[in-house]
């Protein structure tokens, strides 16, 4: 599936389409260059799932935890600053990934060996006109 975002005003429609495609999957890795909009898209996804609290990039905290309107938990990771698998293990990454809760990962390539086979790799690209193209494998 491909979702296109021509302008920021369309991001919630795109997030709604993404959320409707999640199914029983719970671990999503968002891949793309720095500044392509991974965090912005994840924020819109969380808002579509009913998160009311402030949604920020976990760049320095590595992980943020959010509660949805139905009481579910979402874990948002940013592994950009993780330098070793040991660091990821120390913060309990595996426990979060196998919790059954929705896990939204940025820079997951830094912890590739810890990722379960069930991870869904979402690719975000930007074309020359600034349009974002979100590619999601068939779920």
Task: Tell me the per-residue pLDDT of 49-105, one tens digit each, with 9 for 90 and over.
Answer: 999 998 988 888 899 999 999 999 999 999 999 999 999 999 999 999 999 999 999
pLDDT digits (tens, 9 = 90+) for 8-33: 999 999 999 999 999 999 999 999 99
User: What pLDDT, on a 0 to 100 scale, did the predictor assign at position 64?
Assistant: 95
How far is it, in rounded angstroms, from Cα 135 to Cα 25? Answer: 16
Q: Can you say how many angstroms the Cα of residue 109 is from the centroid of all Cα atoms in its chain?
A: 13
Say if CB 11 and CB 41 are below 8 A apart.
yes
Residue range 24-123 forms a domain whose CATH class is alpha beta
Q: What percent of the chain has pLDDT over 70?
A: 99
- If you average pLDDT over every residue of the chain, what do you get? 94
Query: What is the distance between the alpha carbons of residues 69 and 48, in angstroms, rounded to a whole number?
Result: 10
Domain extents in the chain: 24-123
* pLDDT tens column, 36-50: 999 999 999 999 999
DSSP category for residue 35: T
Report the distance separating Cα 98 and Cα 118, nearest Å.
10
pTM for this prediction: 0.94
């Amino acid at each position: 599936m491909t979702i296109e975002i021509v302008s920021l005003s369309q991001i919630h429609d795109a997030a709604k389409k993404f959320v409707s495609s999640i199914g029983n999957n719970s671990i999503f890795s968002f891949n793309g260059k720095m500044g392509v909009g991974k965090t912005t898209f994840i924020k819109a996804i969380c808002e579509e799932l009913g998160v009311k609290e402030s949604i920020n990039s976990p760049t320095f905290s590595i992980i943020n935890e959010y509660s949805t309107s139905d009481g579910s938990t979402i874990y948002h990771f940013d592994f950009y600053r993780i330098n070793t698998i040991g660091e990821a293990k120390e913060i309990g990454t595996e426990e979060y990934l196998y919790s059954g809760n929705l896990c939204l990962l940025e820079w997951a390539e830094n912890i590739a060996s810890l990722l379960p086979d069930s991870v869904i790799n979402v690719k975000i690209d930007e074309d020359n006109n600034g349009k974002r193209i979100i590619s999601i494998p068939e779920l």
